[in-house]
């Protein structure tokens, strides 16, 4: 057995811990299918056995009939090819995403000659982002981007460079902060989509968060799950009113956000993913509807200083745009990504993702 910590929760993104609590309170525990892939490649997979060991150590997945399928250790894979598939109740799976993605990312990166992160370089990059984004709340979201054993050191590096918070309890406390931060992941929205349908899911997930999570935690709704960023931001703002602190935009790199613009040669301003045009459209829609109090949190790709600078420049020219940024990429790695793609046997995923069969996967749990 690999050397694992006694508990996974300290190394888990806080929004997964909160999601598990909300799902239990709401009596939501559907059977889900999760698939894992890398955008990088071709390459060879590593960390499969260690990731499987984490499920055996921390989850009752097997007791409930769940399974994990994966490529064999060292087997070749292509970009976007599913390298792992997980089947089981969402309550047995949701808390482990940070942990197994970090293992797969670190081991696969090393196996493909990507070096271990340098904490000093991470601090330098964090400091560069802080200089570009003075006055913005900077959140370190990188736990899933490397092995759990380096989480404390990387969180200390991020905070030393000027970041305000970290997503895991272990990392936050190592950096002198009280606890990890985080609100709603796509997985929680999709669980509510199973119960209420996609049109109501974002609002209902935010309302459930508001019912069950301590009032001192800011209410921040994730609004890009179904590529209806404006519609879901407004719908959630109407439902929560003054209690809604903000909305988070994490639009998939394969999609143009609602209100965004087709790529016209200006990177970060137009095209797919979280762009200035898409965020500006959400900001204008909130303001026009009387929700100027609702802040905007950005994530996805903001470890790129050029992207951060593009957003800062737009705000300097055109006025208020965003208040906080979540950043995972303070170092280079081959990042593993996980998505729910099916719930209770029916296709249900965030926009731009779908189940892709891979007959090369073999059962490992």
Q: What is the pLDDT of residue 228?
A: 98
Q: What is the pLDDT of residue 199?
A: 97
Residue with tokens 């059962």: 363
CB 18 within 8 A of CB 182: yes
Per residue in 147-202, pLDDT (tens digit) is 999 999 999 999 999 999 999 999 999 999 999 999 999 999 999 999 999 999 99
DSSP string, 123-188: HHHHHHHHHHSTTSEEEE--GGGS-GGGHHHHHHHHHHTT--EESSHHHHHHTT-SS------HHH
What is the spatial distance between Cα 162 and Cα 217, in angstroms, rounded to a whole number? 22
Handedness of CA 88, 89, 95, 98 (dihedral sign): positive
Per residue in 4-45, pLDDT (tens digit) is 999 999 999 999 999 999 999 999 999 999 999 999 999 999
Band (328; pLDDT cuts 50, 70, 90): very high
Q: Which of 359, 282, 355, 353 is nearest to 321 (CA)?
A: 282
Q: Where are the alpha helices (DSSP H) in the chain?
A: 14-26, 48-58, 90-93, 97-111, 119-132, 151-160, 169-174, 186-196, 198-212, 229-240, 276-288, 305-318
Residue 2 has pLDDT above 90, yes or no: no
Q: Is 344 exposed, middle or buried (0-12, 13-18, 19+ CB in 10 A)?
A: exposed
What percentage of the chain has pLDDT greater than the value 70?
100
What is the spatial distance between Cα 3 and Cα 356, in angstroms, rounded to a whole number? 32
What is the spatial distance between Cα 126 and Cα 155, in angstroms, rounded to a whole number? 11
Residue 1 has pLDDT above 70, yes or no: no
Residue 88, beta-bridge partner list:
32
């Amino acid at each position: 057995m690999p050397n694992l910590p006694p508990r996974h929760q300290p190394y888990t993104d806080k929004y997964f811990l909160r999601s598990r609590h909300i799902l239990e309170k709401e009596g939501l525990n559907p059977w889900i299918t999760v698939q894992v892939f890398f955008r990088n490649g071709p390459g060879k997979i590593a960390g499969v056995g260690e990731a499987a060991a984490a499920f055996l150590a921390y989850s009752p997945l097997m007791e409930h009939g769940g399974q994990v399928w994966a490529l064999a250790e060292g087997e070749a894979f292509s970009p976007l090819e599913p390298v792992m598939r997980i089947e089981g109740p969402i309550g047995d799976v949701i808390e482990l995403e940070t942990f197994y993605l970090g293992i797969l990312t670190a081991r696969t990166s090393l196996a493909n000659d990507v070096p271990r992160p340098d904490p000093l370089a991470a601090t330098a990059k964090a400091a560069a982002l802080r200089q570009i984004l003075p006055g913005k709340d900077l959140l370190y979201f990188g736990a899933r981007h490397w092995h759990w054993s380096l989480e404390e050191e990387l969180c200390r590096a991020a905070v030393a460079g000027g970041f305000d918070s970290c997503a895991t309890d272990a990392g936050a406390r190592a950096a002198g902060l009280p606890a990890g931060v985080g609100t709603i992941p796509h997985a929680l929205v999709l669980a509510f989509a199973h119960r209420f349908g996609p049109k109501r899911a974002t609002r209902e997930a935010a309302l459930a968060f508001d019912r069950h999570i301590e009032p001192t935690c800011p209410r921040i709704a994730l609004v890009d799950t179904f590529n209806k960023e404006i519609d879901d931001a407004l719908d959630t703002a109407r439902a929560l009113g003054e209690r809604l602190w903000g909305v988070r935009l994490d639009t998939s790199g394969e999609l143009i956000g609602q209100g965004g613009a087709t790529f016209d040669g200006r990177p970060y301003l137009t095209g797919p993913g979280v762009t200035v045009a898409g965020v500006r459209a959400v900001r204008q829609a909130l303001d026009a509807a009387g929700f100027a109090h609702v802040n905007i949190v950005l994530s996805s790709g903001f470890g790129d200083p050029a992207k951060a600078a593009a957003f800062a420049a737009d705000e300097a020219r055109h006025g208020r745009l965003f208040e906080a940024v979540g950043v995972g990429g303070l170092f280079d790695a081959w990042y593993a990504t996980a998505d729910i793609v099916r719930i209770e046997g029916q296709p249900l995923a965030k926009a731009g993702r779908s189940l892709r069969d891979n007959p090369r996967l073999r059962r490992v749990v």
